[in-house]
């Protein structure tokens, strides 16, 4: 049976990809940010997941605002990273897990979530930057991947409550998968940021810290927010919090917080990092 070994929430700011490409790891602006990923990387090295389900939002690479599915899942042999116009070199393609993808599609669809299925899917910084941060200098990529895209760009968006329920359905689907695979679920993006409009540059540190705290033990409180409240509190790109909620929903009700960090600002964003382990995983292996 598949085991969900943990969930990781991480920023996906494209400037991080630029800093990685230019090896700015010791640069004073970046050092403490990159260093804060070390415990999470050590955990991944030790836990050796086989698969990463990456919950992210496409920002206009694979889907544009004219055709934007609310939820879309990859079912491809591999996922290509194409040029997004940032001038960054692309990274090698990410291996897929077609069998797991179709299992997830069947199972989640049967719970009433209508997913767009993608047998071809290019992945942008929302997917790529977290993979680079979590698996640096690891080629070939050490995990198979399943991308799960959620619209946080073109309104109306799915509600936080709906996204949390989707995460719960994803968790049930993963736990019902008959193969013996170890799965880590990534929720990428966030926290508060606004890239355009009158409030460009807006960041709300107290709200970000509130989200980092609540998502661990009381995610239901976050599901009571509306999308528009999130925009008001966390900026126009703040709804990337939906991706964190899906990751959290996939884990069990009780989780242990293994690591948390917050850097502000990184580029234009309050950058959060969380590593959560389901309580049953900790009880099974208390080391």
Is 130 one of the binding residues for ligand DHB (CB under 6 A)?
no
DSSP code, position 167: H
237 binds ligand DHB (CB under 6 A): yes
Q: What residues pair up with 71 in beta bridges, in sequence order?
A: 150
Cβ–Cβ under 8 Å, residues 227 and 168: no
Among 2, 59, 72, 171, binds ligand DHB (CB under 6 A): 59
Looking at 71-217, list the stretches that DSSP marks H as alpha helix, in order from N- to C-terminal side.
98-110, 125-134, 160-175, 205-217
- CA angle (89, 94, 260) in 5-degree steps: 85
41: which residues sit within 8 A by CB, 6+ positions away?
134, 135, 136
13 forms part of the interface with ligand DHB (CB under 6 A): yes
> What, of ligand DHB, Fe ion, none, does residue 14 touch, CB below 5 to 8 Å by kind?
ligand DHB
Which of positions 187-206 make contact with ligand DHB (CB under 6 A)? 189, 193, 195
CB nearer Fe ion, residue 171 or residue 235: 235
- Of 155, 193, 228, 263, which one is the catalytic site residue? 193
- Does residue 193 carry a catalytic annotation? yes
Shortest distance, position 119 Cβ to ligand DHB, whole Å: 25
* CA separation for the pair 23, 27 (Å, rounded): 9
Site string for Fe ion, 185-214 (x = CB under 5 A): ----x-------------------------
The reply on whether position 49 binds ligand DHB by CB under 6 A is no
Measured distance CA(240)–CA(154) in Å, rounded: 12
Which residues have CB under 8 Å from 103's CB, separation 6+? 173, 176, 177
Nearest to ligand DHB of 75, 150 (CB atom)? 150
103's contact among Fe ion, ligand DHB, none, with CB below 5 to 8 A by partner kind, is none
Q: Which is nearer to ligand DHB, 159 or 267 (CB)?
A: 267
Give min distance, CB of 266 to Fe ion, in A.
Answer: 12
Give the per-residue SS3 of 47-111. HCCCEEEEEECCCCCCCECCECCCEEEECCCEEECCCCCCCCCCCCCEEECHHHHHHHHHHHHHC
263 is annotated as an active-site residue: no
3-state secondary structure of 246: helix
Q: For residues 62 and 268, which CB has a smaller minimum distance to ligand DHB in the complex?
A: 268
> Binding ligand DHB by CB under 6 A: which of 2, 7, 12, 30?
12
CB of 196 to ligand DHB, least distance (A): 10
Strand partners, 144: 51
Residues that bind ligand DHB (CB under 6 A): 12-15, 59, 189, 193, 195, 237, 267-269
């Amino acid at each position: 049976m598949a085991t969900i070994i943990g969930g990781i929430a991480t920023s996906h700011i494209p400037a991080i990809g630029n800093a990685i490409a230019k090896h700015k790891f010791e640069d004073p602006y970046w050092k403490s940010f990159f260093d804060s990923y070390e415990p999470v990387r050590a955990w991944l090295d030790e836990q050796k997941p086989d698969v990463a389900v990456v919950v992210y939002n496409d920002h206009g690479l694979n889907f544009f605002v004219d055709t934007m599915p609310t939820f879309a899942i990859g079912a491809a042999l591999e996922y290509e990273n194409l040029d997004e116009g940032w001038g960054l070199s692309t990274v090698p393609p990410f291996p897929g897990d077609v069998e797991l993808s179709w299992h997830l599609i069947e199972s989640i669809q049967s719970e009433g979530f209508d997913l767009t299925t993608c047998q071809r899917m290019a992945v942008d910084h929302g997917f790529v930057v977290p993979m680079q941060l979590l698996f640096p200098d690891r080629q070939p990529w050490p995990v198979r991947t399943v991308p799960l895209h959620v619209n946080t760009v073109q309104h109306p968006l799915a509600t936080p409550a709906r996204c949390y329920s989707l995460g719960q359905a994803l968790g049930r689907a993963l736990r019902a998968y008959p193969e013996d695979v170890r799965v880590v679920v990534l929720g990428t993006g966030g926290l508060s940021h606004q890239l355009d409009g009158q409030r460009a540059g807006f960041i709300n540190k107290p709200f970000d810290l509130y989200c980092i705290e609540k998502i661990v033990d009381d995610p239901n409180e976050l599901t009571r927010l509306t999308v528009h409240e999130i925009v008001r509190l966390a900026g126009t790109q703040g709804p990337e919090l939906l991706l964190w909620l899906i990751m959290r929903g996939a884990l069990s009700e009780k989780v242990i917080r293994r690591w948390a960090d917050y850097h502000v600002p990184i580029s234009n964003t309050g950058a959060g990092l969380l590593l959560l382990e389901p309580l049953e995983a900790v009880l099974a292996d208390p080391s």
